[in-house]
Amino acid sequence: MSDLPSFDLTGRTALVTGAARGLGRATALALAAAGADVALGLRDVAADGGLTAEIEAMGRRALPLAMDVLDLKQACSAIDTAIAQFGHLDILVNNAGGGTEGPVEDFPEDEFDFTINLNVKSTFFLSQHAGRHMIARKSGAIINMGSQAGSIALPGEAIYCLSKAAVGHMTKCFAVEWGQHNVRVNCVAPTFIRTDGTAEALSDPDFRADVLDRIAALHRIGEPKEVSGVVVFLASDAASMITGQTILVDGGWTAR
């Protein structure tokens, strides 16, 4: 029935940056499971951990691409390759990100620049590049990977926090300008999720206990599929009236 929401992505194409592991891998698999063909942005195109084969086993096309988001020329070329191979690009997931820790009084300029370039500059210019194609087609969905750190202050992570706050506000700006072209732009902001990237920190019993306490409603560590499911929703027609929003996947951390 036409009045029921559709989460089906059959016939659509997506590109996920930082697809090799963690949330990027989970997102690529979730998009494929929903029916999309997926281009995989990888720093090392030969090291996809079997992701390409796993997507192809679902009956979807997978396209591994060399894509270091700090190299904008290479990254934009990867977007062009995805469009050329798939014929069009419907979904861009700006997942690649990260940063370093340190007190603000001692934070070095080069690490500041690294974090801003990785989280903010790459998101802006990859969205811009893919967005031109989407604007021309009058259709598209961009999902940026933010963080609950964009809504709170985490000691020792001021630069990461401000970079993710910038991603959230950038999302609003793109959405407002591009809504007239039927291009939606949203942000997903997770808490601590069980991935390779968080394993070391969460292995500290005191740190883990503090995180579980701060995840004020559910008191558990999130799983990658609980983030990737939100990405699929935002990419689908079920979210056709949602743009410019940041959806927190934080188990209630920021609710208290």
In the chain, how many domains are there?
A: 1
Residue 188 included in any domain: yes
Residue 149 included in any domain: yes
Residue 190 included in any domain: yes
Residue 29 included in any domain: yes
Q: How far apart are the first and last CA of the chain?
A: 40
**Gap between the Cα atoms of 81 and 151, Å rounded:** 35
- Which pLDDT score is estimated for 87? 98
Kindly report the pTM of this predicted structure: 0.95
- Which pLDDT score is estimated for 210? 87
Q: Which of 86, 160, 233, 253 is catalytic?
A: 160
Residue 51 included in any domain: yes
Q: What range does the domain containing 170 cover?
A: 13-194+222-251
**Gap between the Cα atoms of 20 and 205, Å rounded:** 28
- Which pLDDT score is estimated for 196? 83
**CATH number of residue 101's parent domain:** 3.40.50.720
Residue 237 included in any domain: yes
Residue 69 included in any domain: yes
**Cβ atoms of residues 130 and 142 within 8 Å:** yes
**In a structure prediction context, what are the per-residue pLDDT tens digits for the chain, which is 256 residues long?**
578 999 999 999 999 999 999 999 999 999 999 999 999 999 999 889 999 999 999 999 999 999 999 999 999 999 999 999 999 999 999 999 999 999 999 999 999 999 999 999 999 999 999 999 999 999 999 999 999 999 999 999 999 999 999 999 999 999 999 999 999 999 999 998 988 888 888 889 888 898 898 888 899 999 999 999 999 999 999 999 999 999 999 999 999 8
**Cβ atoms of residues 14 and 36 within 8 Å:** yes
Closest to 16 in 3D by CA, of 37, 40, 36: 40
- DSSP for the chain? -TTS-----TT-EEEESSTTSHHHHHHHHHHHHTT-EEEEEESSTT--TTHHHHHHTTT--EEEEE--TTSHHHHHHHHHHHHHHHS---EEEE---------GGG--HHHHHHHHIIIIIHHHHHHHHHHHHHHHHT-EEEEEE--GGGTS--TT-HHHHHHHHHHHHHHHHHHHHHGGGTEEEEEEEE-SBSSHHHHHHHTSHHHHHHHHHHSTTT-S-B-HHHHHHHHHHHHSGGGTT--S-EEEESTTGGG-
- Residue 141 β-bridge partners: 91, 184
- Which pLDDT score is estimated for 201? 83
Give, to the nearest 10 degrees, the angle between helix 158-178 and helix 122-137.
Answer: 20
Check if 160 is active-site. yes
Residue 102 included in any domain: yes
**Gap between the Cα atoms of 30 and 56, Å rounded:** 13
